[in-house]
Amino acid sequence: MAYQNVAGQCEGTHTFLEWCKKRRIDIVFVGEAWVDKKGTGTQSHPSYTLGSKVEKGKKTMIYWRKKLDGAVKVIREDKRLALVEVCGHKLGGIYADGKLSGGAWKAWLESLNKADCLVGDWNVHNQAWDPLNEDDTREKDMEEWMVEKGFEIGGEYEGPTWERTVNGRRQQSRIDLFISKGPKNWQKVKSDKFLLDH
């Protein structure tokens, strides 16, 4: 399983799918996915089936290797979530709206409870997973939800997953996370850097 935020770039999506093909990644989530101006098309790849509906404003797309056709079932999808079941596991790719807060943020988190693992761009800062930044206002709600539902962060801190330069000042953070109910059941969690948004 792999996730990449491509910042709406068609070329970035293609590059990421090629990277996944070479590494034989079965399930691929694309954040801030590219969708054409009509809202009817997105990047395709000969080795992958696009499992998501294409529409304007879509932030998360799912692809799987064609050999898994029939074995992957999309069980929930909206503009910011793609949740599938494969081999008895519920895997989700997300793009969290950075503007959600308070009750709306908590409700959105609660809507993710059925997943066994979630990967994506959480748009939230917490010293527990992002030591370069101060906690933000949503981090406590997310941390409480993770503890209550049994989610843990997979993988060790390998540095920031996002960066940009604004007015000559470099900003970095770790907002892309893999969380699961029992991460020890997963073989390995690894971060790789692309020349994309995340």
Residue 141 inside a domain? The answer is: yes
Mean pLDDT, rounded, for 170-193: 62
Q: What is the pLDDT of residues 142-173, one digit of tens each?
A: 889 988 999 887 766 566 666 667 788 776 66
Candidate ranges 19-33, 120-134, 150-164; pick with highest mean pLDDT: 19-33
Residue 196 inside a domain? The answer is: no
- Check pLDDT > 60 for residue 72: yes
Residue 157 inside a domain? The answer is: yes
Domain boundary among 34, 65, 86: 86
Same domain as 20, residue 102: no
Same domain as 143, residue 79: no
Sheet (strand 117-121) strand order: 72-78, 81-86, 89-95, 117-121, 176-181, 151-153
Secondary structure class of 15 (helix, strand, coil): helix
Residue 198 inside a domain? The answer is: no
Q: What is the pLDDT of residue 172?
A: 63
Question: Could you write out the DSSP letters of every residue in 47-90?
Answer: TEEE-SPP-TT--EEEEEEGGGTTTEEEEEEETTEEEEEETTEE
Residue 184 inside a domain? The answer is: yes
Q: In total, how many domains does the chain have?
A: 2
What sign results for the dihedral spanned by CA atoms 32, 34, 37, 42?
negative
CB contact burial 168-198 (16+ within 10 A = b; e otherwise): eeeeebbbbbbbbbeeeeeeebeeeeeebbb
Domain boundary among 86, 109, 130: 86
The mean of the pLDDT values for the chain is: 83
Q: Which domain, by its residues, includes 73?
A: 1-86
Same domain as 56, residue 32: yes
Same domain as 101, residue 53: no
Domain boundary among 86, 109, 128: 86
Secondary structure class of 4 (helix, strand, coil): strand
**What angle do helix axes 102-110 and 139-149 make, rounded to 10 degrees?**
30
Q: What is the pLDDT of residue 193?
A: 47
Q: What is the pLDDT of residue 42?
A: 93
Residue with tokens 């206002």: 137
Residues β-bridged to residue 197:
none
